[in-house]
């Protein structure tokens, strides 16, 4: 007897209970997301939207500076605000300039304006540079003097020593260059060199702006030997003392200029109680005098000297940072690493992936690892070779990166090829990327275990935000006046292609989503099959408690499928369960 054959439908069940992050690759794990918005890894492996941000009552088209000391400060409409007070004496009318801030002890240094603010006493502020120029017709006198400023008198000069000298007579020997001051000793019957000689420059108020041991440049002197750089050995309001030698005193009424200047630099950082900077124009690296950001031309051969060096690599500098006790100056194809504690420092050059031009603000340390945007993507660097963490972005191109760190995460806002600014975050401990939203972030600053940022909306208005209003590690409410918590925001995710590991056609007959939600939360489910670019809505669901939503999901017979979930409110998805009915090859 021949019995009929019953063909059973091959069914399978699959559960996704651990969610990974963002991945833009062609083939991705089925628990990853090909696209997403406003997602975070805080509860990973549970899927969760990001926490709400706080928005402070500080906004304006001219909001162009954000910094952290003992409080958060900012520049708005050309005025500096710090610790709830206005620093009325410091103004920044040029809003086209990007401000760079360097912290040195209690002082905040602001570039390229080259000004300082004592954050312990906000009435103490001013320029890092100083310049004094005598008016035409004002007398300026140059005289040979001792270290205390007292003048030498009754000395002679010439190529040969004076005849019949007496004990302690003085003679300037002009037969040698530089000239030498000598004193006669009756005991030895010889002229003895006075090795340290000084010149006193006297004029009304000439010394008021300067300090002892400032490195200054003199220009306009009728004796060209003094048109150079000098160290001020001592000073009074009406005089300066410098190292030098004169064969005779002289005066002039022509204008004389004394200036203490900083180099023109592109990037800045602090390390070892010095301020460091670099110049692409001169291809040079500089550092200030130890503990003194006003002096960059002090070269006395001592440990506290300032420092300058020319490097031989091609290209412009693209960023600078202090990392693990070293100073790093980046170009796109290399990094210059500064070794040593005192000058002369050692400069070591490594030809590695450097910082992408325009992404100098991407240099951020998370825990003990440095992250930055290189020309080929985001990399992590611990002092050796950089390691890419950008594989999940496929061949997407980004530039002009700005970054900050918060709770083991590297937050980075970048511009894509369509000129849209997008915020991403990378969780270092979980090795997971997530995409947040399109927001034009100008700069980040960390303060009291919080992360603040300035963002611009539609090129019109700038506001200060806090990345996570639920953060319990620091009291952010007291740092800036007034804030609001943002309203519920939309979030979504789009899976990769499901079913690529099964060669035959198949049906998806059921999907069950198990989640935790709060009141007024909802989401909608869409599906797309065979990459037809047509999203079909399967339903909208309100979710107010822990439980499951069962979605009858009879799809057309297809090769592959992907789903998209769009939601609003605080929903945490624990798992996605799906039933698949396998079909034939055709």
The verdict on whether omega for the bond into residue 40 sits within 30 degrees of 0, i.e. cis, is no
Each residue's pLDDT tens digit, 497-510: 888 877 778 778 88
H or E element that contains 236: strand 229-236
Taking the C-alpha atoms of residue 546 and residue 317, their distance in angstroms, rounded to an integer, is 54
Tell me which range, 45-59, 285-299, 512-526, is most confidently predicted by mean pLDDT.
285-299
Strand partners, 274: 271
What's the pLDDT at 520? 80
What CA–CA distances, in Å, run from 188 to 1, 160, 184? 141, 18, 9
Phi, psi of 111 (to 5 degrees): -120, 155
pTM above 0.75, yes or no: yes
What's the pLDDT at 320? 98
142: CB partners within 8 A, 6+ apart = 199, 200, 201, 221, 223, 226, 246, 249, 250, 251
Taking the C-alpha atoms of residue 105 and residue 42, their distance in angstroms, rounded to an integer, is 35
For residue 9, pLDDT over 60 is answered with no
Each residue's pLDDT tens digit, 341-386: 999 999 999 999 999 999 999 999 999 999 999 999 999 999 999 9
Q: How confident is the model at residue 8 (pLDDT cuts 50, 70, 90)?
A: very low
Taking the C-alpha atoms of residue 499 and residue 561, their distance in angstroms, rounded to an integer, is 7
- The mean-pLDDT minimum among 131-140, 386-395, 458-467 falls in 458-467
pLDDT over 90 for what percent of the chain? 72
What's the pLDDT at 473? 61
Closest CA to 287 of 228, 335, 343: 343
Q: How confident is the model at residue 554 (pLDDT cuts 50, 70, 90)?
A: confident
What's the pLDDT at 460? 65
For residue 583, pLDDT over 80 is answered with no
H or E element that contains 82: strand 79-82
What's the pLDDT at 153? 85
CB burial of residue 247 (10 Å; 0-12, 13-18, 19+) = middle
Q: Are 340 and 328 in contact (CB under 8 A)?
A: no
Strands 39-40 and 48-49, sheet pairing: antiparallel
What's the pLDDT at 211? 96
For residue 584, pLDDT over 90 is answered with no
What's the pLDDT at 102? 97
Q: What is the mean pLDDT of residues 378-395?
A: 94
What's the pLDDT at 6? 46
Each residue's pLDDT tens digit, 217-260: 999 999 999 999 999 999 999 999 999 999 889 999 999 999 99
For residue 489, pLDDT over 60 is answered with yes
- What mean pLDDT, rounded, does the chain reach? 91
Q: What 3-state DSSP class applies to 4?
A: coil
What's the pLDDT at 268? 96
What's the pLDDT at 436? 96
């Amino acid at each position: 007897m021949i019995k009929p054959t019953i063909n059973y439908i091959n069914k399978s069940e699959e559960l996704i209970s651990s969610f990974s992050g963002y991945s833009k690759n062609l083939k991705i794990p089925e628990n990853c997301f090909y696209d997403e918005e406003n997602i975070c890894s805080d509860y990973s492996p549970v899927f969760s939207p990001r926490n709400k941000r706080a928005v402070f009552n500080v906004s304006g088209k001219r909001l162009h500076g954000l910094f952290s000391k003992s409080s958060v400060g900012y520049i708005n409409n050309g005025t500096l605000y710090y610790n709830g007070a206005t620093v009325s004496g410091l103004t920044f009318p040029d809003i086209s300039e990007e401000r760079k801030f360097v912290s040195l002890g209690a002082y905040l240094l602001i570039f390229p304006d080259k000004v300082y603010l004592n954050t312990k006493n906000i009435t103490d502020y001013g320029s890092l540079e100083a310049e004094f120029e005598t008016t035409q017709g004002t007398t300026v006198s140059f005289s040979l003097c001792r270290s205390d400023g007292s003048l030498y008198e009754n000395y002679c000069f010439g190529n040969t020593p004076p005849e019949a000298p007496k004990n302690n007579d003085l003679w300037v020997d002009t037969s040698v260059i530089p000239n030498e001051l000598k004193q006669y000793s009756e005991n030895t019957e010889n002229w003895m060199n006075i090795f340290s000689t000084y010149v006193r420059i006297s004029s009304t108020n000439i010394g008021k702006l300067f300090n002892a041991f400032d490195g200054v440049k003199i220009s306009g002197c009728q004796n060209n030997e003094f048109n150079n750089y000098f160290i001020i050995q001592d000073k009074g309001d009406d005089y300066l003392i410098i190292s030098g030698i004169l064969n005779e005193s002289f005066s002039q009424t022509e204008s004389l200029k004394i200036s203490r200047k900083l180099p023109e630099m592109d990037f800045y950082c602090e390390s070892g109680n010095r301020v460091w900077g670099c110049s692409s124009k001169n291809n040079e690296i500089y550092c200030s005098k130890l503990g003194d950001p006003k002096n960059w031309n002090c070269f006395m051969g001592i440990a506290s000297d300032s420092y300058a060096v020319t490097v031989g690599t091609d290209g412009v500098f693209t960023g600078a940072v202090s990392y693990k006790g070293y100073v790093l100056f980046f170009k796109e194809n290399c990094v210059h690493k500064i070794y040593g504690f005192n000058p002369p420092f050692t400069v070591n050059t490594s030809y590695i992936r450097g910082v992408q031009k325009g992404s100098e603000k991407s240099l951020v340390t998370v825990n003990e690892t440095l992250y930055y945007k290189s020309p080929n993507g985001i990399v992590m660097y611990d002092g050796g070779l950089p390691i890419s963490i950008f594989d999940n972005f496929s061949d997407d191109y980004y530039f002009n990166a700005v970054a900050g760190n918060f709770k083991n995460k590297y937050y980075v806002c970048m511009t894509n090829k369509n000129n849209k600014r997008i915020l991403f975050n990378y969780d270092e401990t979980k090795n997971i990327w997530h995409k947040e939203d399109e927001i034009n972030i100008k700069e980040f600053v960390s303060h009291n275990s919080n992360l603040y940022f300035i963002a611009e909306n539609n090129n019109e208005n700038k506001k200060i935000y806090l990345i996570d209003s639920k953060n319990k590690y620091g009291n952010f409410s007291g740092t800036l006046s007034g804030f609001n918590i943002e309203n519920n925001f939309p979030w979504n995710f789009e899976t990769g292609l499901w079913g690529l590991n099964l060669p035959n056609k198949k049906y998806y007959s059921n999907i069950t989503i198990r989640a935790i939600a709060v009141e007024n939360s909802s989401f909608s489910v869409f599906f797309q099959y065979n990459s037809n670019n047509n999203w079909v809505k399967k339903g909208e669901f309100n979710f107010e408690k822990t439980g499951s939503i069962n979605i009858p999901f009879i799809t057309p017979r297809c090769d592959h499928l992907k789903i998209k979930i769009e939601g609003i409110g605080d929903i945490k998805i624990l798992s996605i369960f799906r039933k698949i009915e396998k079909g034939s090859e055709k």
